[in-house]
Chain A
Amino acid sequence: MAIREKLSGNEAVAVAMKQIEPDVVAAFPITPSTEVPQYFSQFVANGQVDTEFVAVESEHSAMSACIGSQAAGGRTMTATSSNGMALMWEMLYIASSLRLPIVMALVNRALSGPINIHNDHSDSMGARDSGWIQLYSETNQEAYDNFIQAVRIGEHTDVLLPVMVCYDGFITSHAVENIEILEDGEVKDFVGEYEPLHYLLDRERAISLGALDLPSIYFEHKRGQAQAMINAKQVILDVAAEYERLTGRRYGLFEEYMLSDAEVAVVVLNSTAGTTKAVVDKLRSRGIKAGLLKPRVFRPFPYDEIREALGHVKGIAVLDKAEGFSGAGGPLFTEVGSALQGIANVEMTSYIYGLGGRDVTVDHIESVFMDLKDRLADGKGNKITYLGIHE
Chain B
Amino acid sequence: MAYRFKDTSKIPERLSGGHRMCAGCGAPVTVRTVLRAIEPEHRAVISSATGCLEVSTCIYPYTSWHDSFIHSAFENAAATISGVEAAYEALKRRGKIDEEVKFIAFGGDGGTYDIGLQSLSGAMERGHKITYVCYDNEAYMNTGIQRSSSTPLYANTTTSPAGQQRFGKVQFKKDLTMIMAAHDIPYVAQSAPYRNMKDLYEKSKKAIYTDGPAFLNVLSPCPRGWRYDTPKLMEIIGLAIDSCVWPLYEVEGGKFRLTHRPKEKVPVREYLKMQGRFSHLFNGENEEHIEEIQKIVDSRWERLLELCEES
Determine whether the beta carbon of A57 is less than 8 Å from that of B93.
no
Give A332-386 interface residues, CB cut-off 8 Å to B: none
Decide if A137 is an interface residue (CB 8 Å cutoff).
no
Give A81-137 interface residues, CB cut-off 8 Å to B: 90-91, 94, 98
- Provide the residues of chain A in CB contact with B66, threshold 8 Å: 206
Known A61-B119, A64-B79; contact A202-B71, beta-carbon cutoff 8 A: no
Determine whether the beta carbon of B87 is less than 8 Å from that of A52.
yes
CA–CA, A200 and B85, complex, Å: 11
- Provide the residues of chain B in CB contact with A202, threshold 8 Å: 68
CA–CA, A68 and B88, complex, Å: 10
Decide if B55 is an interface residue (CB 8 Å cutoff).
yes
- Provide the residues of chain A in CB contact with B72, threshold 8 Å: 64, 67-68, 91, 94, 98, 209-210
Decide if B23 is an interface residue (CB 8 Å cutoff).
no
Decide if A14 is an interface residue (CB 8 Å cutoff).
no
- Provide the residues of chain A in CB contact with B84, threshold 8 Å: 68-69, 71-72, 200-201
CA–CA, A65 and B80, complex, Å: 5
Give A46-71 interface residues, CB cut-off 8 Å to B: 50-52, 54-58, 60-61, 64-71
B45, closest chain A residue (CB): A200
CA–CA, A76 and B88, complex, Å: 12
Determine whether the beta carbon of B76 is less than 8 Å from that of A26.
no
Known A58-B118, A212-B60; contact A64-B94, beta-carbon cutoff 8 A: no
CA–CA, A323 and B62, complex, Å: 44
Number of A-B contacts (CB under 8 A): 166
- Provide the residues of chain B in CB contact with A66, threshold 8 Å: 83
A68, closest chain B residue (CB): B83
- Provide the residues of chain B in CB contact with A56, threshold 8 Å: 79, 82, 122, 126
Decide if B61 is an interface residue (CB 8 Å cutoff).
yes
CA–CA, A212 and B69, complex, Å: 13
- Provide the residues of chain A in CB contact with B55, threshold 8 Å: 212
Decide if B91 is an interface residue (CB 8 Å cutoff).
yes
Most A CB atoms within 10 A — which of B79, B83, B88, B125? B83
- Minimum CB–CB distance for B308 against chain A, Å: 31
- Provide the residues of chain B in CB contact with A211, threshold 8 Å: 58-63, 71
Give A247-287 interface residues, CB cut-off 8 Å to B: none
- Provide the residues of chain B in CB contact with A209, threshold 8 Å: 68-72
- Provide the residues of chain B in CB contact with A389, threshold 8 Å: none
Decide if A315 is an interface residue (CB 8 Å cutoff).
no
A56, closest chain B residue (CB): B122
Determine whether the beta carbon of B68 is less than 8 Å from that of A207.
yes
Determine whether the beta carbon of A55 is less than 8 Å from that of B71.
no
Determine whether the beta carbon of B68 is less than 8 Å from that of A24.
no
CA–CA, A217 and B83, complex, Å: 28
Decide if B101 is an interface residue (CB 8 Å cutoff).
yes
- Minimum CB–CB distance for A204 against chain B, Å: 11
Determine whether the beta carbon of A72 is less than 8 Å from that of B87.
yes
Decide if A23 is an interface residue (CB 8 Å cutoff).
yes
A57, closest chain B residue (CB): B122
Decide if B54 is an interface residue (CB 8 Å cutoff).
yes
- Provide the residues of chain A in CB contact with B63, threshold 8 Å: 208, 211
Decide if B182 is an interface residue (CB 8 Å cutoff).
no
CA–CA, A106 and B94, complex, Å: 28
B105, closest chain A residue (CB): A68
Query: What is the total number of residues of chain A having a CB less than 8 Å from a CB of chain B?
Result: 43
Q: Which of B47, B60, B65, B90 contacts A74 (CB 8 A)?
A: B90
Give B38-79 interface residues, CB cut-off 8 Å to A: 43, 45, 47, 54-55, 58-63, 65-73, 75-76, 79
Known A206-B65, A207-B68, A208-B68; contact A24-B87, beta-carbon cutoff 8 A: yes
Determine whether the beta carbon of B43 is less than 8 Å from that of A54.
no
Give B96-111 interface residues, CB cut-off 8 Å to A: 97, 99, 101
Most A CB atoms within 10 A — which of B59, B69, B91? B91
Q: Which of B68, B71, B82, B101 contacts A65 (CB 8 A)?
A: B82
Q: Which of B76, B81, B86, B122 contacts A52 (CB 8 A)?
A: B86
B20, closest chain A residue (CB): A212
CA–CA, A68 and B126, complex, Å: 16
Q: Which of A60, A65, A214 contacts B83 (CB 8 A)?
A: A65
- Minimum CB–CB distance for B49 against chain A, Å: 11
Determine whether the beta carbon of A67 is less than 8 Å from that of B59.
no
Determine whether the beta carbon of B90 is less than 8 Å from that of A23.
yes
Determine whether the beta carbon of B83 is less than 8 Å from that of A57.
no
Determine whether the beta carbon of B119 is less than 8 Å from that of A57.
yes
B82, closest chain A residue (CB): A65
Determine whether the beta carbon of A65 is less than 8 Å from that of B67.
no
B60, closest chain A residue (CB): A211
Most B CB atoms within 10 A — which of A50, A202, A208? A208
- Minimum CB–CB distance for A151 against chain B, Å: 16
- Minimum CB–CB distance for A255 against chain B, Å: 36
B67, closest chain A residue (CB): A206
CA–CA, A143 and B115, complex, Å: 36
Determine whether the beta carbon of B76 is less than 8 Å from that of A91.
yes
- Provide the residues of chain B in CB contact with A55, threshold 8 Å: 126
Decide if B309 is an interface residue (CB 8 Å cutoff).
no
- Minimum CB–CB distance for A116 against chain B, Å: 25
Decide if A203 is an interface residue (CB 8 Å cutoff).
yes
CA–CA, A371 and B256, complex, Å: 76
Decide if A311 is an interface residue (CB 8 Å cutoff).
no
- Provide the residues of chain B in CB contact with A203, threshold 8 Å: 43, 97, 99
CA–CA, A91 and B76, complex, Å: 10
Q: Which of A54, A72, A217 contacts B60 (CB 8 A)?
A: A217
Decide if A213 is an interface residue (CB 8 Å cutoff).
yes
- Provide the residues of chain A in CB contact with B83, threshold 8 Å: 24, 26, 54, 64-72, 76
Q: Which residues from chain A sit less than 8 Å from chain B, CB to CB?
A: 23-24, 26, 50-52, 54-58, 60-61, 64-74, 76, 90-91, 94, 98, 200-203, 206-214, 217
**Mind listing 15 A-B residue pairs with CB under 8 Å?**
A23-B86, A23-B94, A24-B86, A57-B122, A64-B80, A65-B79, A67-B80, A73-B91, A91-B73, A200-B45, A200-B70, A212-B55, A212-B60, A214-B60, A217-B60
Q: Which residues from chain B sit less than 8 Å from chain A, CB to CB?
A: 43, 45, 47, 54-55, 58-63, 65-73, 75-76, 79-91, 93-94, 97, 99, 101, 118-119, 121-123, 125-126
Q: Apart from A61-B82, A74-B90, A206-B68, what are 4 other A-B pairs with CB-CB below 8 Å?
A: A72-B84, A72-B91, A203-B99, A207-B69
